Structure 1
Amino acid sequence: MQQFKVFKSSAGSGKTFTLVKEFLKLCLSQKEPFYFSRILAITFTNKASKEMKERLVKTLKLASRDDKNEEDSLAKAVREDLSMSREELREAASLTLRWLLHAYGDLSISTIDRFNLKVIRSFARDLKLPLNFEIEMQQVQLLERVINSMLSNIGHNPSVDKAILDYSRWKISEGKNWKIETDLLKSSKRLYDDNAQDLLNKIQQLTTNEYLELIQRLRTAIGNFESKLQQIAKQAIDLIEQPSLSYDDFHYKKAGAINFYYKIYNGDYDAGGARISAAIENESFVANKTNNQDLVEQITPELIRLYHEIKGVLEKDLEKYISWKHLSTQLPTQALMANIHSEIEELKKDEQLLNISDFNQQISKVVQTEPLPFIYERIGERYYHIMIDEFQDTSILQFQNLLPLLDESLANGNMSLIVGDAKQSIYRFRGGEVEQFSQMPNIQHKKFKEGFNPERLSSLIRNYHPQELNYNFRSSRKIIEFNNLFFDCLGENYPINDRNLEIFKSHKQEIPAHADDDGYVDLRIMEREEDGEKLHLNEMLSIIEELKGRGYAYEDMAVLCQSNKQIREAAEFLNEKNVPLLTSEALKVESSPKVEFLLSLMRLQLNSDDLASRLFIFDYLFEEAYLNGEKSELQMCFVSKSVKGFNILFNALDFEVSIDRKSNENLLQWFERQIRDFKLADEYDLYLQFFEEKVLEFQERNHGGTEEFLNFWEERSKDVNVDLLESGDAVQMLSIHKSKGLEFPIVIMPFLSGKVEPSRSNLWVDELPEPAEELELALLKGSNELLKSTFKDDFERELIKAEGDLLNMLYVAFTRAEKELYLISIPPTESKSQLSVPILLNDFKQKLEQLEGEHYCYGKPSTKVLEEEVRTLESDQINLKKYHSSSWNDKVNLSLEMRTQWTDNADEMDSRKYGSLLHEILARIYTIADIEPTLSAFWHAGRITEVEKNELLDQLSHIINSEELKAYFSQSVKIKNEATLITEDGELLRPDRLIFFPDRVVVLDYKSGAEKSEHVQQLENYAKEVAKISKQPVEAKLYYLQSREVKIVA
């Protein structure tokens, strides 16, 4: 029996359902209740692991219940596959669940990184790793450390210095910024892909000096090629420009055939065209009307000979010349990358660090040479069954390391499985190789032939058992039909490579028989304009507002974008329009003008001559209307003042501030003081909140001052995002990559303009022309010019893969929606040299019903059936209107007798604080029995003295036992203290006490001091809001603590 199950799972086909079902079938078909520990399930993300575990436990719980009426669908599927009765399943599930809960640590469902770490910990000594090695999660930060160190040490290593200089000069010659840090970081990241070990070995085969010598040989070859062609072209130009002739003597003058020689002379090797071809074919360069026909005809044979000589050189060496040029510009980077890798390895050795990217490399060293038990039994487990999720995104090295486990499982007659979908392979940039899945089990990729044990691969072939999961249980009928139609017409109008068409050959999804005839797809083609992004944003907002009008909640909607930059633009726009958002990757704290204003103030402490900070401070204050007057005059004041002068200037402008840091003031206190002094907290600001959290994090972990914090912020600011919400009624915003595996009722996709971009595709090449043949590997930056080089086959393969990435990304995005899908795109450009989303949508839109203009739809929009909303007095969410910032003495609790020592107006402070304290105590008292424990708690906290405690006991007992209030502190009624009410405008109201009687509701509010008219108005507002949600009549009463009088308001 073939035991290697390969599930080809299309979007929405119940992949998690299938994985858990197969897991449970293995567990419940065995007599051992601990059999779950014999199964290893590998997932792609922590979220997927969590979801699978939760689904597993939930199904076991439901199957364990003695419920003869309802049966869980997953439990039913397991029971039917195992031909069990419900009682048999219940007994088996109950026993397995008990064992599972008692030995939950033996449940092996995890990401491959977590599993690998477990393995590596077990044989660290065998690999000669430090037993107490630390895991370095931030690979980028490690790279940044080494790159910054290398650049700061210029002058210490002449060969590295020269490589840096060479690369900087090339960037300047290309009109780019000469700084190389970003480019080096981007290139070096590729060294830590799972599939990069061979690359690392090969790029380090040359020393930095050897790289520089090779670069010089390439430049010599380039110079020789250019010089040779220039000399030949110069001979032709000398003939053309002899004194007896002029351009008028030649056909089409200088724009005619003779222009070929001038282009070649100037280094334009694409020269050619109809005119020179006709001249060569007809053996004629002469103009129709010329007095020098004989002289032109006399030089024509030589011009023809020189043409053929030039063509001969181009045909022989042009491909190599283009290759040399690309190599000479990129090899300085590669030399530096090799140096960076060496430095990182030294740093990791010194600090006893391991990267996650090292895990697979370390395991591979053993797996390829040792038998299975040595590496995997060391962790005390022997897995009978292996399950691998999202196999299309698994790297070659990961598969190599897991293959021995699969082979061992199948060799013992056990079932193992993989699940994947080649159409959803969107993580190639992380090392994912879709061919592993699309060509399974007869994988033709050359890397498999090089690095895999053929006997282990043959085991997969013998046991191969493919299964299709084609039904879409996620999306509505019209969305499934739309996607079937869209992907069915791939290649009809625009050529798609066969490799990618093969992946989408089986794209068509089946629609469940019970599916309703609903769903809606809306395609809007926006005009190409300068302010096109704004058009997309406004269109997105109008869709959201339209959906709200049809009864959908914000939480039903998701906005998917192709890049984090697009997410930030969309999030900032919607945030300004007060649309609640849920995202973790959109808003950068560093983009906040208020945050940058505070940082500029801080920078002035270090350098009072920091002109950029001075100008930013001025611009911020002027734009926010803090300053009145002539802009140029005010700007001159800000630029010319010293820090001390700044304080004087601020005070003159009615800012009672000091930007100097006081001796007893920590960083957080300084920032908070600036927030209050400059009135930055009048409105609630998420950016300020998250910024202050980072200030606090720095303060708790470090003991540095201003300069250290600014350095800390410089390193971390790019990674500090604003998490807008964690849950609740909010529009979700995420990248298409992050949306994989998720589903949403409504999906909106603005900015749909992605395309296959050669400049974004970098590739490693391993067949290099002389004089670079000694180099085994080189990294090149993508360019269409590579199609004319010796690397054209490599680059064509890369473009084919990039084309597949684009199609897969669209498939993932288009299949996230359950009910409605909105696509906002632009018309395609006239040039169709590279595949783009606008080209695909434009080719397809004829299949949709045209509504008006460039607006197309499929299906009909729906109205959501509104569920009855129950408004309660308590809410999980509070919308803050103001950013709260206060001085320490507003946060520290002082006993009443100490307050007179900390204020200039003791009598006023004593009266006001006493009333506030009494108010706070009453908020914790529900009945008379709560008085004593509440006062004791305040006394233990140092809030009141023993004398004050006794005084308050007498006063509170009198209040609560009074005839007017006694009933409101009874144990027989329901009471809510300081319950939060939210008005329709989003305002928060918090009455002191609500008392629910069977026949009425009483709103009671305490007041200290004298009676005021606003007290009545405030209580009337409370009563009005309570009346909206209460079926009983509402009464409202005020109680004045000093006079002990009750005032009936309603």
Structure 2
Amino acid sequence: TPDTSSPEQLKKAYSDVAQKVPSFRDNHGYVSINLLPNEDYRQQALQKTAEAVSLLLDSGANYSDIAILVRSNDIIQLIAEFFANELPDVKIVSDEAFRLDSSVSVNIIVNAMLWLTHPDNILAKAYIAKAYQTYVLEKSEQETNKLLATAEGIDSALPCALIDKRNDLLTMPIFELAEQIYTLFNIGNIKGEDAYLYAFYDALTDFIANNTADIDSFVEEWNDSIAAKTIQASAIDGIRIITIHQSKGLEFEHVVIPFCDWTLEKGNTIWCTPQVEPYNELPLIPVDFSASQMKGTIYEFDYNEEHLQNCVDNLNLLYVAFTRAASSLFVIAQRGTPSSRSYIVEQAITDIKLEGSSLDGDPSDKKAELLFSYGELEIVETKAKKKSDNIFTPEVENMNVDMATFSNKVEFKQSNKSRDFVADDDENTDDDDRKQMSYIKTGKILHYLFSTINTTDDIDTSLAQLEMDGLIEESDTNIKRLRDMLHKRFSNRQVADWFSSRWTLFNECTILDYDAATDTVREHRPDRVMKDEKTGEVVIVDFKFGSPRPEYVEQVNRYKALTQNMGYPNVKGYLWFVYSNRIEEV
């Protein structure tokens, strides 16, 4: 026996629920509920939606104050296409409506790629030829090309360069190929599709980063998923089309709800616990949810429970949709049947007795159109948003950024790090000077290398990075010679100690020295400063790659004095002449 307690519980739960209007609310607003007969319903519903939007705009409503709420995403695409054809001047905004495969520009690029690898694909070839003729060429060029295409075949309707360069295009990386197709077809002449192209190139970049970047793989991925990606248009000033679920928590001055007649119960599988032998020996059984199949069976109780939950969910969904409107609500639906959401709407409007409401049409005639209205349509000017003082919520201003592409020849560029170590050789430089320059270059490279080595374990890693930065090749030495020389120098016991892990290292740190006599601040940068945390000893080492000079000693003595003035009494200084592997304590 079906349990009747659940409906009673539901009735009790809603018994004290009422929509109360705050006293400060103005007594104004407008509700229009239009129920249409079955004949040619879809086209009529779209037309009524357009009429409601046109009425609001003609009355002075702003685009951003209007929202069209729907039950599912497939309806969004339907409405967006209708408005694009019937009311092209009306701006429609929806993340779901603007799929990449609705862009002519993007479709030209993808179909051109497909035709390049599959020249026997007549559909792809015909599409790019027609799109090129229709959307890219001027009217005068279209007529000329139509005559040529008739006389000489479809190839004459395509850009000549596409045919001539086909083999070259197939050798290009896929991203550069997309840019080349953009240029060959003059896709920049197609206006209003820049956002689609930006989104397409982003998707192409993501694909290249995660997949084998060949044309066929990309076209397959395009058909599977990329084509359904949408451009983000939520910031554009226009009429919003969103699902009812997405509208939760939002408010709009004017709401239009077309196709408010969705099916209450869709076929799915529910899990039932049978109570009758021998089926009760199974803990759960999957059953197709259907009134015709479950009523009158041992699963009728399960059906009633699921049916009740569906009613509650759909009622709550309808409540969410209706309460998004602040000033006016337009509902467009089909004359109801018990399995449709509009059934309860039709029952309600025939029973409502409100002062100022009206119902046109005969409810008993199922082929008649019903129009319920209440209140008066008033367009209230929306207040401008107050500028926020929060620096993390700045005002955002939309800008139109046109797509453009430029030809670019690949050329070698020297890295900035490499340039620091290399001077251009003059043609008149003699061999001795060239040797001297090579000597200086290698010294610069070694000086930089030592600054990147903390311990002897870092030698090979630092050398590899040096080679990657393009510094080794520009010197007259190679990485093997450098590695051999370094390991030989670091075999010195004292050097090995300097580059051990026992030191706290200050590599090329700047010491600032204030000269009160001249009121200036001077900078000093020793090559390597090390501190033994246990003993407090500080060691300063300067690397030299030339012959000994008196100023080198003065320099290290200055470093020692400055360090001692900073509170380190036990300071030692050294000069390390790397080429000769000579160490002098200062």
Aligning the two structures, in what range does the TM-score lie when normalised by the shorter sequence? 0.5 to 0.7
Equivalent position of 2:155 in the other structure: 650
- Cα distance in structure 1, aligned partners of 2:89 and 2:410: 31
User: In structure 2, do the counterparts of structure 1 residues 654 and 739 end up closer, same or farther at CA, with 3 Å as the change threshold?
Assistant: closer
Q: What is aligned with 1:520?
A: 30
Q: What SS does structure 2 have at the residue aligned with 1:738? A: coil
* Match status 1:805 vs 2:313: yes
1:584 Cα deviation after fit: 2.4
Secondary structure (helix, strand or coil) at the match of 1:709 reads helix
Matched, 1:557 2:59: no
Conserved 8 A contact 2:272-2:285 = yes
Q: Mind listing any 5+ residue stretches in structure 2 that lack a counterpart?
A: 362-369, 386-394, 414-586
Q: Closer, same or farther in 2 for the Cα pair 1:839/1:676, shift >3 Å?
A: same
Structure 2 CA distance, aligned partners of 1:625 and 1:730?
27
Q: Which amino acid aligns with 2:89?
A: N
Task: Identify the residue that residue 487 of structure 2 maps to in structure 1.
Answer: none
Give the drift of 1:738. 1.0
Report the alpha carbon displacement of residue 791 of structure 1 after superposing the two structures with TM. Answer: 2.5
Match of 1:691 in 2: 200
Report the counterpart of residue 378 of structure 2 in structure 1. Answer: 862
- Give the counterpart letter for 2:76 in structure 1: I
Inter-partner Cα distance in structure 1 for 2:126 and 2:39: 33
Secondary structure at the aligned position of 2:24 is classed as: coil
Matches for 1:466-477 after TM superposition, within 5 Å: none
Which 5+ residue runs of structure 1 have no aligned equivalent? 1-443, 446-496, 639-648, 895-1050
Cα deviation code 1:119-175 (max 9, x no counterpart): xxxxxxxxxxxxxxxxxxxxxxxxxxxxxxxxxxxxxxxxxxxxxxxxxxxxxxxxx
Do the aligned partners of residues 687 and 769 (structure 1) sit closer, same or farther apart at CA in structure 2, a change above 3 Å counting? farther
Task: Tell me the equivalent position of 2:271.
Answer: 764
SS at match of 2:200: helix
Within-5 A mapping of 1:27-66 = none
Aligned to 1:574: 83
Kindly state the Cα deviation for residue 809 of structure 1 after the two structures are TM-superposed: 0.7
Cα distance, 1:607 vs. partner?
A: 3.4
Q: Does 1:587 align with 2:106?
A: no
Cα shift at 1:543: 2.2
Q: Name the CA distance, whole Å, in 2 between partners of 1:803 and 1:747.
A: 23
Task: Determine whether 1:752 maps to 2:260.
Answer: yes
The one-letter amino acid paired with 1:511 is: V
Q: In the TM superposition, what whole-angstrom CA distance separates every residue of 1:40-87 from its partner, at most 9, and x where no partner exists?
A: xxxxxxxxxxxxxxxxxxxxxxxxxxxxxxxxxxxxxxxxxxxxxxxx
Cα offset for 1:533?
A: 2.8
Task: Look up the equivalent residue of 2:203 and give its one-letter code.
Answer: K
**Could you say what secondary structure the match of 1:753 adopts?**
coil
Letter in 1 for 2:349: K
Structure 1 residues 592 and 636: alpha-carbon distance in aligned structure 2, compared to 1, 3 A threshold: farther
User: How far apart, in 2, do the equivalents of 1:772 and 1:598 lie?
Assistant: 59
Name the one with the larger helix percent: 1
1:840 aligns to what? 344
1:822 and 1:564 mapped to 2: Cα distance? 20
CA contact (8 A) 1:571 1:586 kept: yes
Say if 1:770 and 1:597 are closer, same or farther in 2 by CA, change over 3 A.
farther
| Whole-angstrom distance in 1 between the partners of 2:302 and 2:152 | 61
Q: How far is 1:691 from its partner? A: 1.8
SS in 2 for 1:662: helix
- 1:657 counterpart SS class: helix
The one of 718, 721, 738 aligned to 2:246: 738
Distance 1:585 1:610 in 2: 30
1:637 to 1:776, Cα distance in 2 relative to 1, 3 A: farther
Larger RCO (alpha carbons 8 Å, 6+ apart): 2
Q: Is the Cα contact below 8 Å between 1:655 and 1:678 reproduced in 2?
A: no
Q: Is the 8 A contact 1:761 1:798 kept in 2?
A: no
Q: 1:366-394 CA distances to partner (integer Å, 9 max, x unpaired)?
A: xxxxxxxxxxxxxxxxxxxxxxxxxxxxx
1:520 maps to amino acid: Y
Residue aligned with 1:722, SS: coil
User: In 2, distance between residues paired with 1:534 and 1:890?
Assistant: 54
Q: Can you list the C-alpha shifts for 1:99-118, whole angstroms capped at 9, x where unaligned?
A: xxxxxxxxxxxxxxxxxxxx
SS for the counterpart of 1:545 is helix
Deviation at 1:807, TM superposition (A): 0.8
Structure 1 position 565, deviation (Å): 0.8
- Structure 2 residue corresponding to 1:721, chosen from 222, 226, 230: 230
Partner-residue secondary structure (3-state), 2:253: strand
Q: Percent identity?
A: 23
Cα distance, 1:672–1:729 mapped onto 2, change above 3 Å: same
Residue 110 of structure 2 aligns with which residue?
599
Residues 535, 674 of structure 1: CA spacing in aligned structure 2 closer, same or farther, 3 A cutoff? farther
**1:529 aligned to 2:36?**
no
Name the count of aligned residue pairs: 375
Aligned to 1:1006: none
- Which one-letter code corresponds to 1:668 in the other structure? F
What is the TM-score with the length of structure 2 in the denominator? Answer: 0.55
Distance 1:677 1:845 in 2: 60
Q: CA deviation at 1:805?
A: 1.6
Structure 2 CA distance for partners of 1:766 and 1:614, relative to 1, 3 Å: farther
The structure 1 residue matched to 2:51, chosen from 528, 535, 542, is: 542
- The amino acid of 2:298's aligned partner reads T
1:708-753 residue CA offsets vs partner (Å, 9 max, x unmatched):
3234334432651122232x53222211011112222221111111
Which of the pair has more CA radius of gyration?
Answer: 2
- The CA distance in 1 between the partners of 2:28 and 2:89, in whole Å, is 31
Question: Cα distance, 1:811 vs. partner?
Answer: 0.7
Contact 1:752 1:823 in 2 (8 A): yes
Alignment of 1:1006-1025 (within 5 A): none
1:779 aligns with 2:289: no
Preserved CA contact (<8 Å) 1:526 1:825 = yes
Compute the displacement of 1:629 (Å).
11
Conserved 8 A contact 2:203-2:226: no
Q: Output one character per residue of 1:810-844: Cα deviation in whole Å (capped at 9) or x when no partner.
A: 01111111121111112225xx3x2x232122112
State the one-letter code of the partner of 2:335.
P
Cα deviations across residues 761-819 of structure 1 (Å, max 9, x unaligned)? 43112329888766533333333323244323222322221122211110111111112
Contact 2:272–2:284 (CA under 8 A) maintained in structure 1: yes
Counterpart-to-counterpart distance in 2, 1:615 and 1:788: 58
Q: TM-score, normalised by structure 1?
A: 0.32
- Change in CA separation of 1:865 and 1:535 when aligned onto 2, cut-off 3 Å: same
RMSD: 4.0
Preserved CA contact (<8 Å) 1:562 1:736: yes
Alpha-carbon deviation of 1:700?
Answer: 4.3
Taking a change above 3 Å as real, the CA distance of residues 706 and 635 of structure 1, as seen in their structure-2 partners, is farther
Distance 1:611 1:780 in 2: 48
- Which string of whole-angstrom CA distances, capped at 9 and with x for unpartnered residues, describes residues 612-657 of structure 1? 54565566567769777999x979998xxxxxxxxxx534656442
* Alpha-carbon distance between aligned partners in 1 of 2:315 and 2:396, rounded to the nearest angstrom: 44
One-letter amino acid of the counterpart of residue 602, structure 1: M
Inter-CA distance 625–732: structure 2 relative to 1 (3 Å threshold): closer
Provide the rounded CA distance (Å) in 2 between the counterparts of 1:891 and 1:590.
Answer: 32
Partner residue in 1 for 2:398: 877
Instruction: Give how far 1:665 is off.
Output: 3.2
Aligned to 1:274: none
How far the C-alpha of 1:513 sits from its partner, in A, is 2.0
Which of 1, 10, 18 is 1:508 aligned to?
18
CA distance in 2, matches of 1:500, 1:620: 58
Q: Which structure 2 residues correspond to residues 364-403 of structure 1 after superposition, within 5 A?
A: none
Q: How has the CA–CA distance of structure 1 residues 586 and 875 changed in structure 2, closer, same or farther, with 3 Å as cutoff? A: closer
